[in-house]
Amino acid sequence: MSQISAVPDLDSAAGGDEAAFDRLVRPLRRELHAHCYRLLGSSHDADDALQDALLRAWRGLARFEGRSSVRTWLYTVTTRTCLDLIGARRVLPIDLGPSSAHAVLDDPPVPDVPWLTPYPDAGLAYEQREAVELAFVAACQHLPGNQRAALLLFDVLGFSAAEIAGIMDTSVASVNSALQRARRVVTEKVGDRSRQRTVRALGDARLRAVVEGFSAALERGDADALVALLTEDVTWSMPPLAHWYAGLPAVRDFATEVPLSRCGAWRHRATSANGQPAVASYLDPGDGVFAAWSITVLTLRGDRIAAVTSFLGAEHFRVFGLPPKAG
């Protein structure tokens, strides 16, 4: 029996049955989407890339000869689709320029460039959540497309160098060279990248207390309570704003001058993003309506917040399945 006929729905899908094709790819759709996000750094671009990749797979299914698994074949199509996009653009890491020592009150957004975006991690396994952490995804954006793809396919997804050579249509030697270069860059930028051990070690109760404490401090305008949750070297960034802040004095100055005093009233909803605790922030500037404002990812070190990354924009709420307004 051939591998093609041994896979349920594959014969029917190859014959033009769209429902069979959907059943074929459905178990892999979530992990393929996460792969697109790691490669592209944008959940919105991941949506488009996966849609394009599955369309290519559907149109090319009749030519699938069964020499690899369906999973490997779908990763081949998806990876090549993303590499086409990487050749045309790359998202910007969050720390675009030097940090600011004091609050910048007139800080217009920089909308004409692609920024790293948050990623909903519901439904991802432990190792998959680790591989969408912000620091790791941001570091990957510094890599050329071939190095980025080789690193993710080998270290995250477990493909062999020979399989990756087939996926990327290159040699095993080229794959090994790309892996070596990519690991060096990522190690320099991230080091011990995983925050999952921290999240697990804290436990649900302490993790919930940190998130609730952060939210309550903003809602009360309480700078002391907020600072008590932060590390000395904390950072706060707000893409698509270019300015960001590093160190407790600078972060306290920004928080006091902007979100705690000048923005309006806040309401928050706990969520999770990029394998880390997160907060959906709703802002009422004075008209009585709490509208979607930002998804803030909290990166922890021990039981303190080491990085606050607030992704501004109501468009992120749709990705997380969150309402545009808070009651």
pLDDT of residue 189: 87
Q: Judge if the upstream peptide bond of residue 240 is cis by omega within 30 degrees of 0.
A: yes
E-assigned strands of the chain? 230-237, 244-246, 265-273, 276-284, 290-301, 304-312, 325-326
Domain boundaries, given as residue ranges, for the chain = 3-190, 196-326
Q: What is the pLDDT along the chain (327 residues), one digit of tens a residue?
A: 344 444 678 888 887 889 989 999 999 999 999 999 999 999 999 999 999 999 999 998 878 877 788 999 999 999 999 999 987 666 665 556 788 999 998 888 887 778 899 999 987 877 788 889 999 999 998 899 999 999 999 999 999 999 999 999 999 999 999 999 999 999 998 866 566 677 777 788 889 999 999 999 999 999 999 999 999 999 999 999 989 999 999 999 999 999 999 999 999 999 999 999 999 999 998 889 999 999 999 999 989 999 999 999 999 999 999 999 997
Instruction: Judge residue 210's burial from the number of C-beta atoms within 10 Å of its C-beta, 0-12 exposed, 13-18 middle, 19 or more buried.
Output: middle
Distance between CA 300 and CA 277 in Å, rounded? Answer: 9
Residue 123: exposed, middle, or buried by beta-carbon count in 10 A (0-12, 13-18, 19+)? exposed
> Which CATH number applies to 3-190?
1.20.140.160
CATH class, range 196-326: alpha beta
User: Using CA atoms, how far apart are residues 116 and 285, in angstroms rounded to an integer?
Assistant: 26
Position 151 scores a pLDDT of 97
pLDDT of residue 5: 44
Given this model, what pLDDT does residue 1 score? 34
